[in-house]
Structures are given as structure tokens and as C-alpha cells.
Amino acid sequence: MSTRPKGAEVGANPFSLWAVLAIVVLGALLFVALLWMIGTGIGMGTANDGKAHVEGKGLNGYAAMADYLERRGFAVEMTRNPGALERSGLLVLTPPAIMKGKDIDKIVRARRYIGPTLVIVPKWQAMRPIREQRDKAKKGWVRLGGAGTLEWPGFFDEISVATASARNGRATWAGAGLSGTLPDGKVVMSGAGTRLVRIVAGAGQPQEPGQPQEQGQPQEHGRTLAGFMDDGGSYQGLEAIALDRVLHSGEDDQRFPVVFVFEPDLLDNYGMARFENAQLAEALVRATGVERGGAVVFDMTLPGYGRAQNLLTLAFTPPFLAATLCLLLAAVAVGWRAFLRFGPPLVPERAIAFGKRALVSNAAGLVRRTRRFHLLGPPYADRVRERLIAALGLPRALHPDEADAAIDAAVSRALAARGAQGEPFSVLAARLRAAGRPHDLLKAARDLHALERTLTR
């Protein structure tokens, strides 16, 4: 004789209730997190590759600018989805020098009545650190070579970009009530063109709007390091800090401005190491009409990190996010109902139950579905004949016609003895065999059953 310890019953669940719940919840959360990461691209590797974009942490990147604006209360976002470029708010474009001008122009023109655009022109040719510096260099760090050339045909062709050496190796800037020194005092990049209004000027004190340049004044005093297009829009914030006269303001008050930063050292990580440059970045954002809490979107599609929109991306993007949350809540409800089941699973009932009543009911249902009612009459009549032959003691070997005649004679005697009238057996049986509709079939069967009871009572 043997005994089992408590809890060692055959078929007992090896996991506790809470262990099963923890496994299911953790697995579901990890699965949803995986779908979200695939849809949004998070966790698919860093873009800190030494290039001039918002995720670059080298001297030529703009990670510091995005971090500073976010800490100052702006809703900073980095997008790799081309569809997100048409959202409201400030869009910051950092296209590379090899970009096609028509591609940039397509994005900027599509936003003229959606939101302001800030275009930062590339300057440096970035290189990897030399071998002696690689051990100390962090990921994404670069060495700055010379300033590269820039040609974007098809994008504001009336604007020209030039580089020049600063006098005395010290390049300064002034604008938006601020001033400072460029981190690299040798090369300055500036822009020039019709309808281009300066908001950040080159070295020295900025000129008053409309004031002619004094003779003997260094040429870099007139350089445009940052400016906006005087294209007929009403840009009050930019006009307030403009260093040139605005001639076409208010012609189209629905249009949003396009701001150019020709000297990227004003806003890149190299320049954002200075506090006055950080202040200038916020001043430019505010001048475009974006206040704290407003959206500042940094583009990652032009630097080569664009990602096409897919079903997973849409699933976690409004307004489809609401449907995704509803499906997740429905899955949680179904899982919770399954988790609350107590005891062993119920054995399903048989499709065809045991017993004569169930067998007759199933057979009747089959006949009803197939509508073969005309097949029921003859077998029932033959079965009644057999029972009456046995009840009246007639020979079993009689021919059906002889048996019907013998039963009719017995019916006549029984009815005469009772002084009643009725149809003979052969007539009722023939009517039952000829019935084709359920009503006629049921009536003939009842009459035949009543005759049977009369003879066997």
C-alpha cells in the first residue's frame, strides 16, 4: 500500500495560478513591445554615425540643439517617416551637401501653408578620428576637414552660398539681440540673394535696417549667416529681429516662413557649447511663431534614414491607435475570462445522445432537414401490420394482401361488437403510404394508431 503526498495528485497543474498569470502577462507585454519597436523603428540601431543630423553627436551634429530645446519646454520629435513632414509646427531640415535640390524644394513648398521650415546648410567635411585618437574618441565623434562646396539646383536658385576666411582668424556674429564668436574662427559660410532678409549678421556690430554700408567697413559685416525669405508672408516674429528692411510683408498672411541658417556652427554641437548660441537657437524657434510646448520636428529622411510607412506604424499612430488599444483591451478581457476558469475543463456533450428518445429525435431532425416525408409512411404501415398480425394470432407467412384482408375482417367484427364505425385497415394503410405532406402524414398515422389500439385493447 502506498500514499501520495498532498498536492501530488495525478494530472495536477505544476504551475501555480500566479505563476501562470505572470508568464502570460509578461509574454503579452513583450509581444506588444516588439510590435511597437518594429513599427516605430526604436531599438533598430543608432544613427550616431558622424553625419550632420539631429542624432549626430559629433561636432557637426545637432543632438545638442534638440536636447536644449526639449529642456526648454518644446515638444521635440525626430521623424524618419516622410508623412510626418507635413505636420504643423517647426520643421528643421538638415540636408546633406549631395542632396538633390528638387527633393528639398518639394518638402519646403508642401509646407508653405502648414508650418514654418528651418533649413540648416551643411558646411564641414567630416572625417573619422585619426588612429592615435580612436581609443579616446566616443562613437560618432569626427574630425572636421575643410568646408565643402554646396549646390542644390532647383531649390531657391536665387540664393547663393559662399565661404570666406574671417579676418584675424576671429569670426563673430550678431542677431536677435545676441552676439557671440563662432567656434571656428577661420572659415565663415554665408548666403546672399534677392528677397533674403538677414536676421543674423557676420562679424562686428549689425547694421540698422536700410542703413547703407559705411566705407572702409570690413566685408564680413554684411554677411548673412541666417535669414528668411521676404516672399510676401506676414512674419511678425522674424520681422522684429530682421536686420534688413522687409518690403513685402502681409501680402499673404496665411503663408509660413522659410528660414535659412547658412552658418551651421551657430546651431550645431560645435557651436552649442556656447550659451549665447543656445539662446540664439531658442530665439530663432520663437521667431518662427513656435512657443514653448509647440512642436519642433527634426527631419531624418533627407540624411538617408527615411522609413516607409507600414501597417505596424499605422497601428500605433492616431487615429488607428484607438482601434489598436480596443483590440488589446478585448484580448485582455478574453485572457482574463480564460484565467478565471476554475476546475478541470468540462467534457463536451455528445453530438448524438444515448437513448431511444434521442435517436428518434435525431432521425426526425434528419428527415425534417432533408424533407423526405414521403419515405416515412410505408415503413410505419408495414410495422403496424406486423404488430397486428402478432396481436390477432394470424400466420406470419401470409401475403401482405391476405394479411390486410384478415385484419380488415377483424376490424369489422370489432367495430360491429362496439356498434362503432370506422375505416378498414387497408384503406388507412393506403392513405398513409400515399401521404406526402407532413399534415396528411400525421393525420393518417394517428388514425392508424387509433385503429391499432381498438384491436389490441
DSSP state of 130: P
- pLDDT at residue number 336: 79
- pLDDT at residue number 207: 39
At residue 314, the 3 state secondary structure works out as helix
Domains belonging to the chain, first-starting first, are 32-211+218-309 (3.40.50), 356-456 (no CATH)
- Give CA–CA dist 142/270, Å, rounded: 11
- Give me the half-sphere count of Cα atoms (radius 13 Å) on the Cβ side of residue 1: 0
Q: Which three cell numbers stand for residue 258?
A: 522659410
Mean per-residue pLDDT, 50-58? 86
Lowest mean pLDDT among 9-18, 102-111, 166-175, 398-407: 9-18
Q: Which three cell numbers stand for residue 39?
A: 513599427
Nearest-CA neighbor of 273 among 171, 180, 166, 141?
Answer: 180
At residue 127, the 3 state secondary structure works out as strand
- pLDDT at residue number 44: 56
- Give CA–CA dist 25/332, Å, rounded: 9
Quick check: 313 pLDDT over 80? no
Close Cβ partners of 251 (under 8 Å, ≥ 6 residues apart): 232, 233, 234
Q: Is 343 left (phi over 0), alpha (psi -120 to 50) or beta?
A: left
- pLDDT at residue number 218: 38
Lowest mean pLDDT among 108-112, 191-195, 318-322: 318-322
Does the pTM surpass 0.75? The reply is no
Mean per-residue pLDDT, 248-262? 88
Peptide bond into 319 cis (omega under 30): yes
Quick check: 105 pLDDT over 90? yes
Amino acid in the structure at residue 246: V
- Give CA–CA dist 421/415, Å, rounded: 6
Angle between helices 400-418 and 377-392 (to 10 degrees): 70
Mean per-residue pLDDT, 127-146? 73
Instruction: Please state, rounded to an integer, the average pLDDT across all residues of the chain.
Output: 81
Close Cβ partners of 103 (under 8 Å, ≥ 6 residues apart): 95, 302
Report the Cα 111 to chain-centroid distance in Å: 24
- pLDDT at residue number 197: 94
Quick check: 220 pLDDT over 60? no
Quick check: 384 pLDDT over 90? no
